[in-house]
Structure 1
């Protein structure tokens, strides 16, 4: 795994660090950010996007946050349940904490809603 070394990715990791161990991983042309092994945020188009559930969507929208939208090959657009972090939250870990906690809650909800992975039966040796 390669740790992104650009200053913006490092800054975002520092903002999230009070919530637990953080790591960054390059993915999909951007960077995925994890806290305690929960995928809670992504960096794309030079912006930090936090995972959002229906529970907290209104708070992000009221703060002027924008939904993650990306172009498709056919010219249309698609979106994910990630919203930009509020500008004030980008200034310090203390300002980021309530927003990052919402993202962690969304990640935990998503993980709980996932069906358990099917195990593949192992071949028995004769």
Structure 2
């Protein structure tokens, strides 16, 4: 996704900064990372407070295979499909990601 598309996706939250990282992109709001774009998939930050809401909406947690062959769970989740067609719903999910970033301090 190009940076303009990312900025549009997060417009319900406010301005974001997009930085290249790890072969993908990191998306920041007010200096805090709130999302990653990895292999053309947008992943929102979540934590123990918000992860159950992501799971209930059908989102999946990002995992990768660690050096020991065991999956490593990361604190990033896919965006529920219905949010892509509803700017108000997308705003809800990106706000949850920002709130998770605030709690991570």
- 1:104 is displaced (CA, Å) by 0.6
> Tell me, which stretches of 5 or more residues in structure 2 are unaligned?
none
User: What RMSD, in angstroms, separates the aligned Cα atoms of the two structures?
Assistant: 1.7
The residue aligned with 1:80 is 74
Compare relative contact order (CA 8 Å, sep 6+) and give the higher one, 1 or 2.
2
Q: For the residues of structure 2 that align with 1:42 and 1:110, how far apart are their CA atoms?
A: 16
2:37 corresponds to which of 27, 40, 43: 43
Length-normalised TM-score, structure 1: 0.74
Kept in 2: contact 1:20–1:36 (CA 8 A): no
> Tell me, which stretches of 5 or more residues in structure 1 are unaligned?
1-5, 112-126
Q: For the residues of structure 2 that align with 1:27 and 1:100, how far apart are their CA atoms?
A: 20
Q: When you count strand as a share of all residues, which structure comes out higher?
A: 2
Kept in 2: contact 1:15–1:92 (CA 8 A): no
- How many equivalent residue pairs? 105
**Moved beyond 6 Å, runs of 4+:** none
Length-normalised TM-score, structure 2: 0.87
- 1:74 is displaced (CA, Å) by 4.6
